[in-house]
Amino acid sequence: MSYFVASLFARRSGVFLGLVAAAAAPFACTGGPRVYAPVDLGGEGGEPGSGGASSVGGSGPSSGGTMGGGGATGGSGATGGTGPTGGSGGGSNTGPCEDHDCLNGAACFPAGEDAYTCDCAGTGFTGESCEEEINECDPDPCLQGADCSDLLSDYDCDCPDEYAGKRCELLTFELVDLLVYDLSPDGTVLVGDADSVAVIHRDGELDELGSYLGDTRSVAYATSTGGEVTVGVSANEDAGTSRAVVWENGTIVELEAPPGFPVCTANSVALDGGVIVGDCSDAASANPRVVRWVDRQVEVIEPPSGASACSEGFTSADGQVVFGSCSGSSDTQPMRWAEGDPLDAAVLLISSEDGCHFESSTADGLLGVGWCNPGGSTLDAFQWTDAGFELIAGDTQTAVYDISADGEFIVGRMGDLADGIWAALWDETRTPTWIEDVIAAEGVTPTGWTSFTSAENISADGNTIVGRGDLGTYVLRRN
């Protein structure tokens, strides 16, 4: 790929230092990062640079069950209960609870030989038998004068066009002062870097995550549900170190590097924070490998047959599938590995086009998206399933970068060198819409913006889009 094309379309780059420093212009300034006392797990300091992009897998919603069950009939533990909600779980069906009057999935608990109480927690009802529905709109939780609609165990705010969020607490369109690489499933937490320091944007506040002790630069590449676990890279150009790191509970931890591959970056993390995927290279920043850390223990996923090196590793949101891009004698092709397979059983997915790179996947890892550079300045976007590769509609230069958890929405950019390359959103039919039209459909007119050049991240539910334009990094929250 030509340098010009690469610099246009490289969204994330695990090559933190070294050969692609020119393409990583947003990281070129020297900041004064806050540093933490490190917790060292034995990772070996490496040389600058590590080939591979830090694409982050498509993030999906967490799937928590409750003891009381859910759905139309629910049921509350042993008592069964009645009503439309899942209930509070637990309870008894013996003694005084054998013939109880607890309603709406509430749990029954004995309170003596001949008495019982109904636990209404989680049902959306109150009262002695949990017979009275709670009005979640009293007191009114909605901001900006929005109308509140009472739902069962929930509420809905009809936000003005300029506001979004559960309580209309967020701006529909916002300029943020960081380069964003990932966002939480609900779109409320953003991570990336500002002035060469890893940062997290949450509740309208931008906070430094900091760098490893003695390092001068850091980038946060991915975050888990709620932003509890954030991963990325910390480096010191003067000392020649580049290490994969985790920020958690106010500390920064170096992830162990595999033997012989000391130059590492952490690109992606599963939503529960248990599986981290990245790239590690040898001391000369060559021969990269996709690696994963399971409960912080390092494993190397060996290149598949036909490939000599693999990088750009990321995980699906559930941590069960790993994607990457591998190079052989003359070409680059996507790679996929699934939980349960041996570490040397990654599969090279051969596209009909050359120079193909995965960027993201659905939450379950069954659909991946990315782009190919078959030659010259041409770029083609693709989606992959077990049925094979399929090109995504676009122009002569089309690249896609992220996908919603269920695969309905994809974001990226498309156009041509003559007329410009602009941010776009693809729906479930894979029909593209310019981001400026998506913004207009929300009823807002961003002041001072004249162009939107990329859309690079989308939340699990497809409602929050992050990208870049002529004024910087934007966040669009769709109602």
Q: Which CATH number covers residue 457? A: 2.120.10.30
Give the pLDDT score at 455: 98
Q: Which amino acid type is present at position 69?
A: G
Domain count, the chain: 1
Task: State both tokens at 235.
Answer: 């480096």
d(CA 160, CA 147): 9
The tens digit of pLDDT for each residue in 132-173 reads 999 999 999 999 999 999 999 999 999 998 998 888 988 899
Regions of the chain where pLDDT drops below 70: 1-90, 329-330
Tell how strand 321-327 and strand 332-338 pair up. antiparallel
Residue 115, domain member (yes or no):
no
Assess if residue 112 is contained within a domain. no
Looking at residue 91, its pLDDT comes to: 76
Asked whether residue 52 is assigned to any structural domain, the reply reads yes
Q: Give the Cα separation of 389 and 393 in Å (integer).
A: 13
Residue 129 lies in a domain: no
DSSP string, 16-80: -SSTTTTTTGGG-S-----EE--EE-SPPP--S---S----PPP-------TT--SSS---GGG-
Whether 54 is in a domain gets the answer yes
Q: What are the structure tokens assigned to 381, written together?
A: 């976007």
What range defines the domain where residue 216 resides?
3-62+172-477
Residue 21: inside a domain = yes
Instruction: Please tell me the predicted confidence (pLDDT) of residue 329.
Output: 65
User: Residues 6 or more apart from 283 whose CB is under 8 A from it?
Assistant: 46, 47, 262, 263
Q: What is the pLDDT of residues 434-448, one digit of tens each?
A: 999 999 999 999 999
In a domain, 288, yes or no: yes
Residue 68: inside a domain = no
Compute the distance between CA of residue 299 and CA of residue 137 in angstroms, rounded to an integer: 50
251-254 and 39-40 as β-strands: parallel, antiparallel, unpaired?
A: parallel
